[in-house]
Structure 1
Amino acid sequence: MRRIQVVATGGTIASRSGAEGRRATVLAKELVASVGPLPEGATVGARDVVTRGSYAFGTADLLALAREVRAALRDGADAVVMTHGTDTMEETAFLLDLLFDDPRPIVLTGAQRPFDDRAADGPANLGDALAVAGDDAARGLGTLLVFDGFAFAARGVRKSDTMSARAFSAPGRGPVLRVADGHVVPLARPVPGPRVPVDLDLPRLPRVDVVPVYPGADGLFVRASLEAGAAGVVV
C-alpha cells in the first residue's frame, strides 16, 4: 500500500466565494474528498499548513512548507502532494527541487478557478497529482508541477496564462508526464540539477536581490540593495 501525504496551503484551489469575496477556506480533507476515487493501492493523508493566497508567502513560509515535506518523508510517506496558489507555485516547486535529493515524488498542484465554481478545475488537477505521485514513472524526476493533465519538471516550468485552465508550460522543454483517464504516460526524463544544502530550521532565508544591468549602468542599484540589507546580489 502506497502512502501519499497531501499538504494543503490555500490558494484558489481552496477558495470559496463569500460576502468578503473569495477566500481560501477549504481544508485538506475536503479537497481530497472532492477528487472522487483515489489511486488504486494508495492511502492518502491530509494536512493543513496555511490557508491563504500564495502571493502573500514570504521566505519564512517557504521554509515552513519545506519542513512539512521533510516531516512527511521522514515519517515514511511514499510521496507528497502540495496544493498551492498558482501565483508563486513555480517558485515553491523550484525551491523544493533545490532542497530535496530524494527519489520519492514531490508534486505541486492548484487551480485557476475556485472550489465552488461550476467549472472548478481543482478536483481534476488534484486527482491527476495524486495519480502522478502514486506512479513509479514519477520516481527520481525531482519535484513536479501537475496542471491540466500534464506534469512539468520544477526547473523550467512557468505560469504562462492567467486565464486558461492550461496555466503552466515549460518553454523549450515541455512536460515530462501526461495523465490520461488516471493513467500516467511518460513523455521525457529531465536532467537532474544540482541540490543546494539549506538549513530548513532557519527563521527565514537570507535576502538576495536580483539587479539588472545595461550598458552605462553604474553601481547604484547594487549599493542600494546592500544598504537595504541584502546578503548578496545576483547581477
Structure 2
Amino acid sequence: MTVALFTLGGTIAMAGSAGQGVVNRLSGAQLTAAVPGLADVPLDVHDVRAVPSAALTYRQVLELVDAAGAAVAAGATGAVVTQGTDSLEETAYLADLVWPHPAPLVLTGAMRNPTLAGPDGPANLLAAARVAVAPDARDLGVLVAFNDEIHAARHVRKTHSTSTATFASPNAGPLGHVIEGEVRLLTRPPRRDPLPPVDADRLAATRVALHTVTLDDDVALLDALASNLDGLVVAGFGVGHVPPDFAPALGALAERMPVVLASRTGAGSVLRHTYGAVGSESDLLRRGLIGGGLLDPYKAKVLLRLLLAGGADHAAVRDAFRRYG
C-alpha cells in the first residue's frame, strides 16, 4: 500500500519571505513531515515543479497524469497531487477526462498557508492520502479531497476566494467524507470512458475561447474574439440566454466552428426547449450551438479543447457533450 505523491507548489507549499509575502518553498518531504498521522500511509514523493496553479498548462497537467499513471502501473495503490487552488477545478477535470485507471487520482491543496494560524494543508493532504488508498475510492476517476469532503472532478468548483470550505459540487454534493480518518463514500456516480490520448503539440495549437455574456454586452466583441479560433464556449445568462443581437452572430460562428452554450450561473443545466424568444436556448440550439448540459463554462472549455485537439468533428463534439454534459 503506497501512495505516489506529486507536488506542484501552490499555497499548500508556501512559506514566509520577508517583504515578499509567501512564496513556493516547501518540498514534498517538508510537506509530509508536517502532517501528523501521515506516517501511516507509505509515500513515494515526487517534487514536480513549484509553480502557482495559474501558471500551469494543459501539457504540464497531462504529463503529470502520465507520471501518476506510471506510478500506479508500477504498483502504487493510488496517487495524490498537491497544487494551488486557483485552477484546481480545471486541472482535476482535465485529468479526469483522460485518467484510465481504477486507482484513484486525488487532488488537494490549501487555502491557508503554513505561516497563518490554522493552515489547512496538512489536514487536506492527510485526507487525500487516505482517499487514495481507500478501496471504496477505486473506479471513481479523479477526485478532489478538501475540508474532509470528497468531490468528483466532474462536479467540483471553487466557490469562494478565501474560505477553507471553498470547494463544493453545486449540482451533486460531495461523494463522501473523511470521518475520524475513515473514508465514507455516500454515492458512486457512473464513470464515463476516458478520452483517447491527445498529441501535446496539437493540443498546444488548438485555440478555444470563453466569452461570458453580460448586461448590455457588445456583439462586436465576438468578431474580435473569434478570429483564428477552433472553438468557442459562450457562458449565457441563466439557462442559456444571450442578448437578441448575439443570436445571429453566434449562429454564423457555429457554421465555422463548434460553439458550446453553457450557463454562467455556476450551477444547473442549460435548457433545450423551454424558452423560444430570439437569443433563448431553443433559438441558439436551432442555430447550431451545442448545449453544454450541466458542465460549467470552465469545464466545457476543457472538454471542447481536448475534443478538438483529438480531431473530433462537429458531430463528434455534439455527441461528446451529450454524453459528458
Per the normalisation by structure 1, the TM-score is 0.88
1:169-184, aligned counterparts within 5 Å?
Answer: 169-184=168-183
Separation in structure 1 between the aligned mates of residue 71 and residue 105 of structure 2, nearest angstrom: 10
Match of 1:124 in 2: 123
Match of 2:22 in 1: 22
Higher normalized helix content (fraction of residues)? 2
Q: Report the secondary structure of 1:175's partner residue.
A: coil
- Tell me if 1:34 matches 2:34: yes
User: Do the aligned partners of 2:7 and 2:47 also contact (CA within 8 Å) in 1?
Assistant: yes
The alpha-carbon deviation at position 12 of structure 1 amounts to 0.2
Separation in structure 2 between the aligned mates of residue 3 and residue 197 of structure 1, nearest angstrom: 27
Separation in structure 2 between the aligned mates of residue 197 and residue 205 of structure 1, nearest angstrom: 16
Q: Percent identity?
A: 34
- Tell me if 1:75 matches 2:74: yes
User: Do the aligned partners of 2:59 and 2:200 also contact (CA within 8 Å) in 1?
Assistant: no
1:1-235, aligned counterparts within 5 Å?
Answer: 2-19=1-18, 20-38=20-38, 40=40, 42-199=41-198, 202=201, 205-212=204-211, 221=222, 224-227=225-228, 230-234=229-233, 235=259
Distance 1:131 1:172, change over 3 A: same
Separation in structure 2 between the aligned mates of residue 97 and residue 5 of structure 1, nearest angstrom: 17
Q: Report the secondary structure of 2:178's partner residue.
A: strand
The alpha-carbon deviation at position 186 of structure 1 amounts to 1.3
Separation in structure 2 between the aligned mates of residue 39 and residue 144 of structure 1, nearest angstrom: 22
The alpha-carbon deviation at position 134 of structure 1 amounts to 1.1
Separation in structure 2 between the aligned mates of residue 62 and residue 225 of structure 1, nearest angstrom: 26
Root-mean-square deviation (Å)? 2.4
| Cα-to-partner distance string for 1:78-110 (whole Å, 9 max, x where unaligned) | 100000100001111101110012110100000
Larger Rg: 2
User: Do the aligned partners of 1:206 and 1:231 also contact (CA within 8 Å) in 2?
Assistant: no
Letter of the 1:61 counterpart: Q
Separation in structure 2 between the aligned mates of residue 18 and residue 109 of structure 1, nearest angstrom: 24
Q: Report the secondary structure of 2:226's partner residue.
A: helix
| Cα-to-partner distance string for 1:176-226 (whole Å, 9 max, x where unaligned) | 120011111111112212421123654854433235497x99797367434
Aligned length: 231
| Cα-to-partner distance string for 1:149-170 (whole Å, 9 max, x where unaligned) | 1000000100011121111000
Letter of the 1:225 counterpart: A
User: Do the aligned partners of 1:16 and 1:23 also contact (CA within 8 Å) in 2?
Assistant: yes
Separation in structure 2 between the aligned mates of residue 162 and residue 213 of structure 1, nearest angstrom: 19
Q: Which runs of 5+ in 2 are unaligned?
A: 234-258, 260-325
The alpha-carbon deviation at position 39 of structure 1 amounts to 6.7
User: Do the aligned partners of 1:211 and 1:222 also contact (CA within 8 Å) in 2?
Assistant: no
